[in-house]
Chains A and B, each alone.
Chain A
Amino acid sequence: MIEIESVTKSYGDVRVLDDVSLTIPTGGITSLVGANGAGKSTLLSVAARLVPADGGRVRVDGMDVATAPGPVLARRLGVLRQENAMSVRLTVRELVAFGRFPHSGGRLTAEDHRLVDEAMAWFELGPLADRHLDQLSGGQRQRAYVAMVMCQGTDHVLLDEPLNNLDMRHAVQMMRMLRGMADELGRTVVLVVHDVNVASCYSDRIVAMREGRLVAEGPTAELMTPELLRKVFDVEVEVHELAGRRIGVPWS
């Protein structure tokens, strides 16, 4: 369970997060939606203790992320940022293996190696394992970063736009994998997505943000309405039922 209590954050005079409170239950997929600059990445960064909040606090399984020991938290919570450029030159295998650091402290066991291979196989990175990241396409690189976070094997996973750069097949594969993690392993997945239909088809809950505030949160079906989508994105959207799923079609 992730409990976010009255979190505020400002950059200079600009309030980027304004008294955000939110409880994300254990197990299931929660999609965070909102326009560019709404504060999604900032909220995720605060929750993953990458950015300190000005006020309020975040607890993961009851531990305050601001004070919990880093190594302990890293075995409970994994995070993927929106931008992942690194100044060191790594191969895919080296990168993914870093996901095991919280468990192995840098000395990989046979089990760690197995998990690294498994994560790479999942994301179809096997043939690319020994390539350097700068020799990959954008989507291949994105899969490598996500594989690293998955390799960490945490109960809670925060993913900032994991579908960035992915083609249709790999996007569907990624969402199916997250679904599997939530359903079969009982993991808690929070992700930022821009495609509301992905949020609608794959997530259990949706959290909508606008200008640093929470606009709405709840079960996916309740939130996929033209009214709410207009409120969040300032765009007219028709919502149609298609094969039991709610699909939003923007028009203007």
Chain B
Amino acid sequence: MTAVLTAPQRAARRRRTLVVLAVLTLVVVAAFLTVDVTGSWDYALQQRGRRLAAMAVVAVAVAVSTVLFQTVTDNRILTPEIMGFDRLFVLIQTVGVFTLGAATVTTADPRLRFAVEVVVLIGFGALLYRSLFGRTERDVYVLVLLGVVLGSTFTSLTLLVSRLIDPNEFLTLQDLLFASFNSVDRQMLALSAVLVAVVTAGVWRLLPRLDVVALGRDTAVGLGVEHRRVVNRALLAVAVLVAVATALVGPITFLGLLVANLARQLLGTHRHAWVLPGAALLALLALVGGQLVLEQVFGFNSSLSIVVNFVGGIVFISLLIREPRQ
């Protein structure tokens, strides 16, 4: 048995953990920016800086969306990605290119494109929540299965529609879908950064209430939290953040799961004011550190999501096995 720490001791340890995470992240970021620069420093810093910015935006989006989703659904295993949010996003883009043509989609105002995609994701999230998570009796295994089914349905539909697309247009679609940190569009990046900043700032005011929502619906209502309102706002934020992350780099299914659970474990609390920064730092650490190791040590270039999904997948399965059956 671990020794029982008092509340101030716990707080001190939490603070220490967060500081260590921040320092580690800084070190990795500095290494990422400076290691092995050949030729012009200006150019290298600019290139790497942009990739770093993309990773930071994705890290925050993934961390915040996963933690919020898990809080309002009162579970620690399912994430928006596991429930098929990101693959639905891919499907929407594919259907868009198919019905409207690649030219229309790529020349359209990215803000408009984004707005349409987000609205569909919000609808999906609301439907999912009302029909599944809102109920009292539920089985996490059924939900996982449903996520798998939804995800593969979206993927199959995407494949089907992309077969029907004109080969030239398909190339454009590929560019849209298989974005990576190396090829992030500057305008898109700016838009994403603003969106993530605005949403995160909006979420910040919800944090004390989210701490209560995490105790379960009935306790939260008993303590006077307007549960439905908080849940709706959180789901709205989740939809926007998942859309941003997926638009920037495509699906990284298990990153959120990994960092949300690790943050709760390391910090020893469920309080959002701690868990959100912790999870975001961990996500950035994983993305930047992973990219650095892959590039410098193994000479690979863009297989980070494979590694993240491999590790994350293992964690997912172990969480699932440990979940006590109700």
A-to-B contact residues, CB < 8 Å: 45, 48-50, 69-75, 78-79, 81, 84, 86-91, 93, 98-99, 101-102, 105-107, 129-131, 135, 149, 152
Q: Which residue of the partner chain, among A87, A90, A101, A130, contacts B76 with CB atoms under 8 Å? A: A87
**Is B212 an interface position by the 8 A CB rule?**
yes
Residues of A within 8 A of B35 (CB): none
Given known A91-B7, A130-B4, A130-B5, contact A84–B74 (CB-CB < 8 A):
no
The minimal Cβ–Cβ distance linking B71 to chain A, given in whole angstroms, is 9
Most buried by B among A69, A88, A99: A88
Given known A87-B216, A91-B7, A106-B208, contact A74–B74 (CB-CB < 8 A):
no
B216 touching A70 by the CB < 8 A rule? no
Interface residues of B in 41-80 (CB under 8 A from A): 74-76
Residues of A within 8 A of B227 (CB): 70
Q: In the bound complex, what is the Cα–Cα distance between A90 and B222 (angstroms)?
A: 18
B208 touching A50 by the CB < 8 A rule? no
A88 touching B223 by the CB < 8 A rule? no
Q: Which residue of the partner chain, among B5, B74, B215, B221, contacts A98 with CB atoms under 8 Å? A: B215
The minimal Cβ–Cβ distance linking A105 to chain B, given in whole angstroms, is 6
Ranked nearest first, the 9 interchain pairs of A and B with the lowest CB-CB distance are A74-B224, A106-B208, A71-B224, A88-B270, A102-B224, A70-B224, A79-B222, A70-B226, A101-B223
Residues of A within 8 A of B212 (CB): 98, 101, 106
Residues of B within 8 A of A48 (CB): 221-222
Most buried by B among A49, A86, A87: A87
Q: In the bound complex, what is the Cα–Cα distance between A98 and B208 (angstroms)?
A: 10
**Is B211 an interface position by the 8 A CB rule?**
yes
Selected A-B contacts with CB under 8 Å, 29 pairs: A45-B218, A48-B222, A50-B221, A50-B222, A70-B221, A71-B224, A71-B226, A72-B224, A73-B224, A74-B224, A75-B224, A81-B218, A81-B222, A84-B219, A87-B74, A89-B270, A90-B270, A91-B10, A93-B7, A101-B208, A101-B224, A101-B225, A102-B224, A105-B208, A106-B209, A106-B211, A130-B5, A131-B4, A152-B223
Q: Which residue of A lies closest to B4 (CB)?
A: A130
Residues of B within 8 A of A71 (CB): 224-226
**Is B6 an interface position by the 8 A CB rule?**
yes
Interface residues of B in 221-248 (CB under 8 A from A): 221-227
Q: In the bound complex, what is the Cα–Cα distance between A107 and B273 (angstroms)?
A: 12
B216 touching A86 by the CB < 8 A rule? yes
B219 touching A86 by the CB < 8 A rule? yes
Residues of B within 8 A of A86 (CB): 215-216, 219
Residues of A within 8 A of B216 (CB): 86-87
Residues of A within 8 A of B5 (CB): 130
Q: In the bound complex, what is the Cα–Cα distance between A3 and B270 (angstroms)?
A: 38
Q: In the bound complex, what is the Cα–Cα distance between A241 and B124 (angstroms)?
A: 64
Q: In the bound complex, what is the Cα–Cα distance between A105 and B209 (angstroms)?
A: 8
Residues of B within 8 A of A81 (CB): 218-219, 222
Q: Which residue of the partner chain, among B10, B211, B218, B222, contacts A74 with CB atoms under 8 Å? A: B222
Residues of A within 8 A of B214 (CB): 87-88
Q: In the bound complex, what is the Cα–Cα distance between A48 and B224 (angstroms)?
A: 10
Residues of B within 8 A of A131 (CB): 4
A130 touching B7 by the CB < 8 A rule? yes
B223 touching A74 by the CB < 8 A rule? yes
Residues of B within 8 A of A99 (CB): 223
Residues of A within 8 A of B270 (CB): 88-90
Q: In the bound complex, what is the Cα–Cα distance between A16 and B10 (angstroms)?
A: 46
Given known A87-B76, A87-B216, A130-B7, contact A107–B221 (CB-CB < 8 A):
no
Q: Which residue of B lies closest to A107 (CB)?
A: B208
Q: In the bound complex, what is the Cα–Cα distance between A89 and B10 (angstroms)?
A: 14
Residues of A within 8 A of B7 (CB): 91, 93, 129-130
Q: In the bound complex, what is the Cα–Cα distance between A49 and B228 (angstroms)?
A: 13
Q: In the bound complex, what is the Cα–Cα distance between A89 and B207 (angstroms)?
A: 17
Given known A93-B7, A130-B7, contact A70–B208 (CB-CB < 8 A):
no
B215 touching A88 by the CB < 8 A rule? yes
The minimal Cβ–Cβ distance linking B13 to chain A, given in whole angstroms, is 13
Residues of B within 8 A of A84 (CB): 219
Q: Which residue of A lies closest to B211 (CB)?
A: A106
Q: In the bound complex, what is the Cα–Cα distance between A72 and B209 (angstroms)?
A: 15
Q: In the bound complex, what is the Cα–Cα distance between A78 and B224 (angstroms)?
A: 9
Residues of B within 8 A of A73 (CB): 224
Q: Which residue of B lies closest to A80 (CB)?
A: B222
Residues of B within 8 A of A105 (CB): 208
B225 touching A70 by the CB < 8 A rule? yes
The minimal Cβ–Cβ distance linking A91 to chain B, given in whole angstroms, is 7
Interface residues of B in 182-224 (CB under 8 A from A): 207-209, 211-212, 214-216, 218-219, 221-224
The minimal Cβ–Cβ distance linking A155 to chain B, given in whole angstroms, is 14
Given contacts A78-B222, A102-B224, 8 further A-B contacts (CB under 8 A): A70-B224, A70-B225, A98-B212, A98-B223, A101-B208, A106-B211, A130-B10, A152-B223
